[in-house]
Chain A
Amino acid sequence: MEKMTAPPPNMAASPLPPPDPCFVLRGAQSAVHALHFFGGAQGQVHPLLLSGSLSGLVHIWSLQTRRAVATLDGHGGQCVTWLQTLPQGRQLLSQGRDLKLCLWDLAEGRNTVVDSVPLESMGFCRSSILAGGQERWMLAMPGRGNDEVQILEMPSKTSVCTLKPEADAKPGMPMCLELWQADSSPRPLLLAGYEDGSVALWDVSERKVCSRVACHTEPVMGFDFDSQKARGVSGSAEKALAVWSLDEQQALQMCRTHELTNPGIADVKIRPDRKILATAGWDHRVRVFHWRTMKPLAVLSFHSATIHCVAFATDGLLAAGSGDQRISIWSLYPISTDSSTPLLGHTEGGEVGAHASA
């Protein structure tokens, strides 16, 4: 990754042509609102990409053939906003605006709904899970009350608790959630981005807010958290990214903000190797930043409508889903230790570095 940290080549020189997607998946038939890579880790030869669309369908794409291998229809034509697979078994969780979380069994070519959880919030808030290898796992989802988050134990669907901000806090609706666990402690923690632009850290077992930091003046649309570096990044409707961190006392602190050319970030994702991050822009563009330095690395323009979501695969592949009904797949700064994706035609790291702008 040395090349990435080096200053970009002479900016005055004529810029290379902008990078292209490796390929584009067509056929979602409506705007793409959720993306999730599945497999592709050791042992699984061909990773799959799951996409959720405005029209309520979930498509399963083979990245080997670049074609949809299955379509799941479980949300009555209502937008699918969140997709997540469980670590064990081939099970998929999908959240739809039909107020339902569906649990799908995908093993051995099946694609049936085995269970579902009713949602009680009409909001846009995406849920989150905390699942180790065990049978039991935890689910955080927007709760019944306007500002509540509900925690369930799964698969029994037993309610664990409801996280309700103190009466005077008034953060508004939760907009995005992330359950996680520090390496040092088994206590489940929840990061939640709120309508008022703040991000809060909840201690789930004690049902209390450990810390809260105001990141944005507009609602938090999406964030991602690097638990190793104890740093997170969030985007909102406004023209800036916020980077914040968590200290040993579990206190959230603003680190910096990063100004953007255009307002509106719908989603933020850090790559699994924690080297770069990508944002989904309302300006039809994906922006790529160096995670440690927040140096802008590339502006990926291809789409002709708002980007709703981005996702990274374990091997570093980036997917972006857009209102133009297309999903673009990009290979940038390939993860050097991994050479398992020769078909995808990696772009040379150095080349992309030259397009830095933002």
Chain B
Amino acid sequence: MAVFDTPEEAFGALRPVCVQLTKTQTVENVEHLQAQLQAVSDSALQELQQYILFPLRFTLKTPGPKRERLIQSVVECLTFVLSSTCVKEQVLLQELFSEISACLYSPKSQKPAAVSEELKLAVIQGLSTLMHSAYGDILLAFYEPSILPRLGFAVSLLLDLAEQEKSKQIKIAALKCLQVLLFQCDCQDHPRSLDELEQKQLGDLFASFLPGISMALARVITGDFKQGHGIIVSSLKTFYKTVSFIMADEQLERISKVQPKPAVEHRVAELMVHREAKWVKNTSDKLTILIKKIIECVSGHPHWKVRLALIELVEALLLKCSQSLVGSAGPLLKALVGLVNDESPEVQAQCSKVLRHFADQKVVVGNRAFADILSENLHSLATSLPRLMSSQDDQGKFSTLSLLLGYLKLLGPRVNFVLNSVTHLQRLSKALIQVLELDVTDIKVVEERCWNSGPLGASETAATQPRSPMQRRYFRFFTDERLFLLLQQVCQLLGFYGDVYLLIDHFMELYRESVVYRKQAAMILNELVAGAAGLEVENLHENHIKTSTEELREIVTSILEEYTSQENWYLTTCIESEEVGEELTMKQSGLQAITSGAHTCQVTSFPAFSKPSPTICSMNSNIWQICIQLEGIGRFAYALGKDFRLLLMTALYPVLEKAGDQTLLISQAATSAMMDICHTCGYYSLQHLINQNSDYLVNGISLNLRHLSLHPHTPKVLEVMLWNSDASLLPLVADVVQDVLATLDQFYDKRAASFVGVLHALLAALEEQSDPPKVDESDTGPDVEPPLPVQIQIATDVMERCIHMLSDKNLKIRLKVLDVLNLCVVVLQSHKNQLLPLAHRAWPPLVHRLTNDDPLVVLRAFKVLRTLGGKCGDFLRSRFCKDILPKLAGSLVTQAPVSARAGPVYSHTLAFKLQLAVLQGLGPLCERLDLGDSDLNKVADACLIYLSAKQPMKLQEAARRVFLHLMKVDPDSTWFLLNELYCPEQLTPPHPSLHPVQLRGTMGQGNPYAANVLCLLQELQ
């Protein structure tokens, strides 16, 4: 709130102070004046402007040495007045300009006077405020040639300050002020927009300062790294604004060849610059040197705002001075492109924005010179790429690849000019292949296995998850994960803009050429296809035509064919497993020799057709190759979307085959490829995918079963399929099951293991089908047996085979067969006519399993007996008691003294395990079979001895459990039996007339059965 609103009031108040100041020029008087000014309204101040300025200017002009402090306060007071008023007269502006700027100069030297920092700051502030307070017209008129010397004086003063001062504040203020003087001020009201003529006039004027400004700013920019990013950013801005103004193509176009005679005195005319062609050329050359230096220095600046400013610089110069500064275009583009992958998201975003802007404006593609420069840059980068990739560290590689990426982005479809040159394509691909080489020494890759059969994991979330994450892999030549992302992007862009047929052909050739390239080439192929489909690619070139779906499908089909071909899909990934039959080994040995011989970490190369043992490295390499190919299939699915469904008839089978692989990594990769397929083709789970495409799978399985030696994994595919589908599949697989059984009959000896897996899966599927479809009886006549339901027929056929295989040499097979047999019994339970004859035939080998086999088998056989007991108890009871029980009981009895005497090592012996298995098996079976008294007694007698505390703990436990089962069948006799062994309490008759009962069990402390019997008797109560 001003105290003095009207000029009259203000005058009255200010007059004495002004007079006082004119008389005595002291700091105090200036401060007096300033204090009074605070109370004056702006409008009054404007009226009295000249009057108030007079004593201040007078003070400055008074000859003789003055104290700095006084000058500073005068300048500050001036600044205050100017900030609240307008300068409306040109003379005043000019005079004030000179007077203020002179404050910093000692009259004798050309250098700024050695004055206090406060004064410097005050002067800079004063100049800035002055220029802002001038009326627009007045200001423009100020910039006439005659001002050149005074303006130049101020400019060089400010540059000096910016360059030489220590204080950051002064430097920044000086740079700001310089911008104000050069009409670059950011503030809203300062420069109004200039018309062409005005621009040209200013340009003519400022051109004189260009060398000085550009060099000084370049020195600041490339100077001390530690000077703070604000100064560099400000200098960069001033630099490009000045350069792009003076060197603007738009202005230069209008410069006449002959310099018009300036209407100024000779001294000034000499300072004037005529911006004709020669001058432009000279200046441009010099600027190019500066620009290169600046870029070199700044593009790696640690502060992102500096890099951001560099982008602005590039944008301004390339947009406004594309002709005048054509020589700088190369470095400028390179700088821009190099920042495309900047670690700062702001810089990255700005860079993409500028690139997009350039593309929209056809700055590059529409400008031959630029396009040539870019192609040239890319050419030379491609040439040096292999060298750079092998010599640079991760950081260096990162910037090199970022640069490559930027060129590709900017060139867009024009990248083909480079790709079409055979040498350059070779260079490029060589570098990519080289840098993508995997580290295959990790032994875990080979070791990690998955053994369990059953449904594939993670199937429920298929529809909700986006693309499955990639498996972590390790590269020989870099560790930084960002590099791999960059490489992916590079390949995607190549696929997107490049001639995709050319590229695919090229990398296919490399893929085929050598195992050394194969994995990398496959990775590249995968990304090329993803890129061609436009996945994850940001298109900067509007009119670029994407590869059509039809073409893409053709490409994918051919790559798939290559990936899944015999020699690329069936690689040795583990040391000879039992499943791989002889023929396969023979067939693969040649291949293996090539594979391992060519591999880099394989020292000796094997002569062809000998049978080398695969090294860890080569198996590891093979595993990765398969994983990459599987990942590729997932990528292809994404590339084709729903169209990929058409390829499922060929693609799904091999993927499912790998889903059943024993190598964990492969199985995972296959599962995630299937998830990708689910996701893009609209299946909501792996089960759904498999069910819906089981016809394709069955087709593959049935055809491959015909050549089992060529396709030894076929049973595995069927197995995985069965585990992952439901019984609705049954009619479809019925004929294949017959094929499987027929094949099994041929290959009992060699391939039993893989077939047992299938049979297991098959029976598990049958078992799940809870409700067997009823056969329509009306179709059949009274005499004709109704045809068996298909699952009963299958179970019958399978059980038949199980009987044969029960005596297989291989323990694992015998175990599996018992599982299958068990399932067969479950499935056939309601068809006694089928079950009983088969059970009869299975009996002898089963007896053998129980009485004369590995403990594991014994246990498993007991389980079968239990199941059988539930379904055909009568049949089984007598046979069990006749054929098996005596033997088992006998062996338990004879073995008991041995185990009672044995030490702790005994529990590792076969004998112990057998005892345990029999004890564990007997209880539940007795209960299930509902044995008669005498047989129960046999069991009890054989087991009693094991209740002794002398027996190993585990056997005691097992024996206790036998009795728990026996109690359920016949509690009374069990009670009696136990009491006979150890009688814990005196039995008092309920009535004195009854005889007291004396049981044989002794009560003494020494009874070894005491603990167990007590425990059991408690259970009985």
Contact = CB atoms under 8 A, between A and B. Distances in A.
Interface string A310-329: 00000000000000111000
B60 to A, nearest CB: 93
Interface string A336-358: 00000011000000000000000
Contact of A342 (B557, B699, B703): B557
Interface string A294-305: 000000001010
B703 A66 contact: no
A26 B699 CA distance: 8
Contact of B735 (A17, A23, A67, A324): A324
Contacts of B649: 23, 65-66
A20 interface: yes
A64 B703 CA distance: 19
Interface centre among B698, B702, B710 (most CB of A within 10 A): B702
Contact of B699 (A29, A66, A343): A66
A326 B706 contact: no
Nearest to A23: B699
A324 B699 CA distance: 15
B732 A27 contact: yes
Contacts of B699: 23-24, 26, 66
A193 interface: no
What's the dominant secondary structure at chain A's contact region?
loop
Given A64-B646, A326-B735, A26 B698 contact: yes
A304 B557 contact: no
Contacts of B645: 65
A349 B738 CA distance: 31
Contacts of A21: 703
B695 A17 contact: no
A21 B705 CA distance: 13
Contacts of B750: none
B97 interface: no
B696 interface: yes
For the complex, would chain B's binding face be called helix, strand, loop or mixed by DSSP majority? helix
B353 interface: no
A240 B735 CA distance: 31
Contacts of A324: 735
B732 A26 contact: yes
Contacts, number: 39
Contacts of A20: 703, 706-707
B695 A26 contact: yes
Given A304-B735, A304-B738, A27 B646 contact: no
Interface in A61-77: 64-67
Given A26-B735, A65-B646, A66-B649, A17 B696 contact: no
A27 B735 contact: no
Interface string B708-727: 00100000000000000000
Nearest to A21: B703
Nearest to A22: B703
A291 B649 CA distance: 33
Nearest to B558: A342
A67 B732 CA distance: 13
Nearest to B694: A26
Contacts of A24: 699, 702-703
A304 B734 CA distance: 13
Interface string B643-662: 00110010000000000000
A67 B646 contact: no
A263 B735 CA distance: 25
Contacts of B735: 26, 304, 324-326
Interface in A30-65: 64-65
Contacts of A18: 706
Interface in B781-801: none
Given A20-B703, A26-B735, A304-B735, A67 B695 contact: yes
A29 B646 CA distance: 24
Given A65-B646, A304-B735, A304-B738, A27 B703 contact: no
A258 B738 CA distance: 34
Interface in A147-183: none
Interface centre among B696, B698, B703 (most CB of A within 10 A): B703
A166 B613 CA distance: 81
Contacts of B707: 17, 20
A199 to B, nearest CB: 36
Nearest to B704: A20
Interface string A133-158: 00000000000000000000000000
A24 B703 CA distance: 9
Contacts of A342: 557
Contacts of B731: 29
A24 B649 CA distance: 11
A21 B706 CA distance: 11
Contacts of B703: 20-21, 23-24
Nearest to B645: A65
A343 B645 CA distance: 13
Nearest to A29: B731
A290 B731 CA distance: 37
Contacts of B698: 26
Nearest to A67: B695
A113 to B, nearest CB: 26
Contacts of B732: 26-27
B689 to A, nearest CB: 15
A30 B573 CA distance: 43
Contacts of B706: 17-18, 20, 302
B531 to A, nearest CB: 24
Nearest to A326: B735
Nearest to A325: B735
B587 to A, nearest CB: 13
Interface string B972-1011: 0000000000000000000000000000000000000000
A198 B703 CA distance: 40
Contact of B695 (A29, A64, A66): A66
Nearest to A18: B706
Contacts of A302: 706
A325 B731 CA distance: 11
Interface in A60-107: 64-67
B790 to A, nearest CB: 12
Contacts of A64: 646
Nearest to B698: A26
Interface in B737-768: 738
A65 B681 CA distance: 14
Contacts of B710: 17
A92 to B, nearest CB: 24
Contacts of A343: 557
Nearest to B736: A26
Contacts of B738: 304
A260 to B, nearest CB: 23
A23 B697 CA distance: 11
A23 to B, nearest CB: 5
Nearest to B731: A29
A231 to B, nearest CB: 35
Interface string B44-66: 00000000000000000000000
Given A21-B703, A324-B735, A66 B557 contact: no
Contacts of A67: 695
A20 B703 CA distance: 7
Given A26-B698, A302-B706, 19 more contacts: A17-B707, A20-B706, A21-B703, A23-B699, A23-B703, A24-B699, A24-B702, A26-B695, A26-B699, A26-B735, A27-B695, A27-B732, A64-B646, A65-B645, A66-B699, A67-B695, A304-B738, A324-B735, A326-B735
10 contacts: A23-B649, A24-B702, A26-B695, A26-B735, A27-B695, A27-B732, A65-B649, A67-B695, A325-B735, A343-B557
A-B CB proximity, top 5 nearest: A20-B703, A23-B699, A24-B699, A17-B707, A66-B649
Interface of B: 557, 645-646, 649, 695-696, 698-699, 702-703, 706-707, 710, 731-732, 735, 738
Interface of A: 17-18, 20-21, 23-24, 26-27, 29, 64-67, 302, 304, 324-326, 342-343
